[in-house]
């Protein structure tokens, strides 16, 4: 709850600060302060200290899982502003407004995580995506950015329409928007409405989390958007959408989960196959990361598929590891001269430290042991095994995780084993605070890989 | 009137909207079709709201049943208005750069 309030208030503060802030760097500092306050608020929430002790007549529901998730994304926001804040300022002439929109997105992420009513889910998803349409198009003179913004907007509005139709049908079946009531109703007509509604909501949310076959907008939007905002989209926003999806199935439609599972299993398999295979063929690292985010979506969908406690823990771990790794990689990417694989040639010789951190992030995305990514994938696979009867899904996932190693290691290979050329390497030398931020992210990933229980999952049982 | 009429009408409007989004090439027309989809949902929500109220009115316990769906409609209108403002801004931005609102121009990102 604290996060929703603080993010909304700080968004307004940032917006108004645009009037007074003369130096662009000050906007970054103010946003960084805001992200610290947000993390403080989330920490207070974890200890059940909130500004408002109310669930607003059942519109919101609080549990440890969602509070822990919000804490994770607020930490991710701190790192995001730390590492990428300077690049956000360089996108255009309105730095305070960009940060304001980022904070509004955080507020939407809070709503999507804590909702207990379909109205709040709808509002949360809209608050999550409308500011992103603007941020995607914020590089106004760049045609690629324009195109990405229009595509994202049209697809976003279209999927919102589908989501709303689904919600309307669910309402027709049950007469309520509250999540707890969605048991099957008696009459035949109500059962039909229920099925139509559920199918439409599944389609709409698959659009939002870019699961195959509803993924086609993702590579274009991620590629066209200014890189600092792609980083935000691919990490925090994507995870918020996933947690919303998982919460919806777990809290609202658990009685349907057997019916949903067979469909979601097909979605997962298609997402893993198309995402990983397409990523292999990309020339640009930014576009490869877009496809890799589709492939990772396949793994995260397993939390929706299994919807048991194991899956929730896995999703939390995945959220932490995936956010850190993606924010780190994109932070380095924003400083590269060239976004192709050749751009990374010989980076290890010039900037050994950055190359090392990047290696940790990439290995974590690929799921190599000792990094957090391994345990994140392990937990989700274990959750699927626990459900039983879907061994083929686990095997597919493992095979395609192995394929993903190929394109992640292509970057590592370029960094360590290829000679540098003129248009490879970083644009300018990076400051020490950037290095400290990268080191922090890399250390957190390694620690999560060695002590996943102690750092994250014990917290669930302690509270 | 039976609820089916309203459902058929709403679904027909929604389908026209979906068809428009998928087949038209003018960004503004696509945009109008999205609005049509949202308004079809509004109609459906109001119809369902009356349906649930009428069901319970038979037992004389209607109260304010169905009110939440009508409130939902207002939220959809507000969000749609916010989306229009952002969407039109994006379309205007594109028009400034390429002097066209044809979405077939949007192929720079294909490799």
Q: Which domains does chain B carry? A: 3-108 (1.10.287.3510)
* pLDDT for B2 beyond 60: yes
Spatial distance between the Cα atoms of A313 and A309, rounded to a whole number of angstroms: 6
Overall domain count for chain A: 1
H or E stretch covering A113: helix A95-114
Angstrom distance (rounded) from CA B89 to CA A288: 30
How far is it, in rounded angstroms, from Cα A288 to Cα A402? Answer: 16
Taking CB atoms and an 8 Å cutoff, what residues of chain A touch B98? 143, 146
pLDDT in tens, A222-265: 999 999 999 999 999 999 999 999 999 888 888 887 888 889 99
> Are the C-beta atoms of residues A264 and A171 closer than 8 Å to each other?
no
Identify which of A140, A151, A177 has the shortest CB distance to residue B68: A177
Percent of chain A whose predicted confidence (pLDDT) is above 70: 97
Q: What is the pLDDT of residue B26?
A: 92
Query: A388-433, pLDDT tens digit by residue?
Result: 889 999 999 999 999 999 999 999 999 999 888 888 888 878 889 9
- Residue A437 lies in domain: 2-459
Residue labelled with tokens 């079946």: A173
Q: What tokens were used for A455?
A: 């750092």
At a CB cut-off of 8 Å and minimum separation 6, what does A93 contact? none
Confidence of residue A28 (pLDDT cuts 50, 70, 90): very high
Q: What is the pTM of this model?
A: 0.94
Q: Tell me what percent of the residues of chain A surpass a pLDDT of 90.
A: 65
The residue written with tokens 């997962």 in the block is A268
Residue A312's pLDDT is what?
86
Handedness of CA A414, A229, A93, A436 (dihedral sign): negative
User: Which of A157, A175, A176 has its CB closest to that of B87?
Assistant: A157
Residue B10 pLDDT > 90, yes or no? yes
Q: Does position A463 have pLDDT exceeding 60, yes or no?
A: no
Mean per-residue pLDDT for A256-285?
91
pLDDT at A33 over 90: yes
d(CA B105, CA A413): 37
Cβ of A144 and B44 within 8 Å? no
pLDDT tens, position by position, A76-88:
999 999 999 999 9
Token reading at A441: 């992210």
Q: What is the pLDDT of residue A201?
A: 95
Cα gap A340→A389, rounded to integer Å = 42
Contacts of A167 in chain B (CB under 8 A): 41, 72
Give the residue from A56, A128, A154, A163 with the most B CB atoms within 10 Å of its CB, the best one to mutate. Answer: A154
* pLDDT of A323 higher than 70: yes
User: Does residue A346 surpass a pLDDT of 90?
Assistant: no
Share of chain B above pLDDT 90, in %: 64
Mean pLDDT of A287-313: 90
Contact A340, A289 (CB under 8 A): no
How wide is the angle at C-alpha A2 spanned by C-alphas A29 and A159, nearest 5°?
A: 90
- Sorted by sequence, the CB contacts under 8 Å of residue B12 that are 6+ apart come out as B40
Q: pLDDT class for A183, splitting at 50, 70, 90?
A: low
> Quick one: pLDDT band at residue A35, thresholds 50, 70, 90?
very high
The ipTM value here is 0.95
Question: Treating both helix axes as pointing N-terminal to C-terminal, what angle do A285-306 and A372-387 enclose, rounded to 10 degrees?
Answer: 40
Closest chain B CA to residue A146:
B94
Residue B12: what pLDDT?
Answer: 97
Taking CB atoms and an 8 Å limit, are A144 and B17 in contact across chains? no
Distances (CA, A) of A185 to A163, A178, A242: 21, 14, 28
Residues A411, A285: contact at Cβ < 8 Å?
yes
Distance, CA of A7 to CA of B110 (rounded, Å): 36
Q: Which of B22, B23, B48 to mutate to test the interface with A (most CBs of A within 10 A)?
A: B48
Query: H/E element holding A152?
Result: helix A143-174
Read off the pLDDT of each residue in A21-44 and give the average, rounded to a whole number: 92
Q: Is the pLDDT of residue B59 over 90?
A: no
Size of chain B in residues:
111
Contacts of B17 in chain A (CB under 8 A): 161
For residues A214 and A261, what is the distance between their CA atoms, to the nearest angstrom? Answer: 18
- pLDDT beyond 90 at B71: yes
Render pLDDT for B23-56 as a digit per residue (tens, 0 to 9). 999 999 999 999 999 999 999 999 999 988 888 7
Express each pLDDT in A50-105 by its tens digit: 888 888 888 999 888 899 899 999 999 999 999 999 999 999 888 999 999 999 99
Neighbours of A68 (CB within 10 A): 22
Q: Sorting pLDDT into bands at 50, 70 and 90, what band is A450?
A: confident
Locate all alpha helices (DSSP H) within A388-431, ordered by sequence: 391-417
Beta bridge partners of A66: none
Task: Judge whether residue B62 has pLDDT over 70.
Answer: no
For A22, the token pair is: 């003369």
Facing residue for B48 by CB, picked from A137, A143, A172: A172
The answer to whether residue B109 scores a pLDDT higher than 70 is: no
Instruction: Judge: A144–B109 Cβ closer than 8 Å, yes or no.
Output: yes
Q: Which of A62, A60, A58, A31 is nearest to A45 (CA)?
A: A62
Question: Residue A259's pLDDT is what?
Answer: 83
Token pair for A191: 């059962």
- DSSP H helical segments within chain B, as ranges? 3-23, 27-57, 67-98
pLDDT averaged over every residue in chain A: 90
- CB-CB neighbors (< 8 A) of B106 in chain A: 147, 150-151
CA dist A187 and A436 (Å) reads 61
The full DSSP string for A215-259 is: -THHHHHHHHS-HHHHHHIIIIIHHHHHHHHHHIIIII-GGGHHH
């Amino acid at each position: 709850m604290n996060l929703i309030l603080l993010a909304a208030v700080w968004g307004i503060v940032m917006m108004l600060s645009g009037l007074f802030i003369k130096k662009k760097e000050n906007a970054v500092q103010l946003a960084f302060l805001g992200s610290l306050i947000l993390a403080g608020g989330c920490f207070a929430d974890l200890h059940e200290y909130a500004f408002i002790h109310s669930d607003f007549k059942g519109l919101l529901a609080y549990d440890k899982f969602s509070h822990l998730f919000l804490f994770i994304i607020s930490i991710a926001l701190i790192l995001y502003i730390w590492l990428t804040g300077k690049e956000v300022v360089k996108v255009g002439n309105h730095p305070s407004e960009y940060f304001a929109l980022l904070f509004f997105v955080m507020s939407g992420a809070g709503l999507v995580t804590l909702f207990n009513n379909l109205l709040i889910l709808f509002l949360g998803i809209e608050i999550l995506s409308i500011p992103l349409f603007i941020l995607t198009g914020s590089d106004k003179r760049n045609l690629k950015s324009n195109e990405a913004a229009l595509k994202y907007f049209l697809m976003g509005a279209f999927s919102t329409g589908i989501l709303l139709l689904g919600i309307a049908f669910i309402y027709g079946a049950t007469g309520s928007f509250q999540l707890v009531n969605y048991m099957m109703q008696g009459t035949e007509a109500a059962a039909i409405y229920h099925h139509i509604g559920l199918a439409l909501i599944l389609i709409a949310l698959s659009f939002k989390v870019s699961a195959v076959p509803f993924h086609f907008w993702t590579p274009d939007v991620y590629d066209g958007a200014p890189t600092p905002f792609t980083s935000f989209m691919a990490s925090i926003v994507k995870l918020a959408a996933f947690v919303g999806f998982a919460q919806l199935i777990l809290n609202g439609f658990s009685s349907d989960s057997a019916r949903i599972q067979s469909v979601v299993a097909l979605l997962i398999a298609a997402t893993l196959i198309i995402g990983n295979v397409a990523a292999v063929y990309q020339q640009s690292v930014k576009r490869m990361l877009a496809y890799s985010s589709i492939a990772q979506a396949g793994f995260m969908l397993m939390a929706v598929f299994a919807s048991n406690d194991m899956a929730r823990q896995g999703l939390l771990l995945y959220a932490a590891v995936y956010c850190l790794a993606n924010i780190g990689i994109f932070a380095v990417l924003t400083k590269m001269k060239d976004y192709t694989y050749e751009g990374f040639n010989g980076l290890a010789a010039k900037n050994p430290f950055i190359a090392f951190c990047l290696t940790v992030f990439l290995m974590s995305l690929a799921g190599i042991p000792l990094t957090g990514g391994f345990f994140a994938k392990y937990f989700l696979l274990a959750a699927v095994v626990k459900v039983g009867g879907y061994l083929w899904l686990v095997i597919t996932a493992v095979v395609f995780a192995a394929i993903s190693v190929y394109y992640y290691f292509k970057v590592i290979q370029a960094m360590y084993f290829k000679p540098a050329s003129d248009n490879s390497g970083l644009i300018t030398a990076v400051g020490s605070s950037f290095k400290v931020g990268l080191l922090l992210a890399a250390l957190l990933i390694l620690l999560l890989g060695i002590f996943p229980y102690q750092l994250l999952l014990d917290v669930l049982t302690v509270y | 009137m039976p609820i089916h009429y309203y459902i058929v009408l709403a679904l027909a409007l929604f389908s026209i909207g979906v068809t428009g989004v998928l087949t038209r090439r003018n960004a503004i027309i696509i945009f109008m079709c999205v609005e049509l989809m949202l308004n079809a949902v509004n109609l459906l929500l109001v119809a369902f709201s009356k349906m649930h109220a009428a069901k319970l009115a038979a037992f004389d316990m209607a109260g304010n049943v169905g009110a939440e769906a009508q409130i939902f409609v207002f939220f959809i209108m507000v969000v749609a208005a916010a989306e229009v403002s952002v969407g039109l801004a994006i379309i205007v931005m594109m028009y400034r750069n390429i002097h066209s609102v044809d979405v077939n121009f949007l192929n720079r990102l294909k490799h």
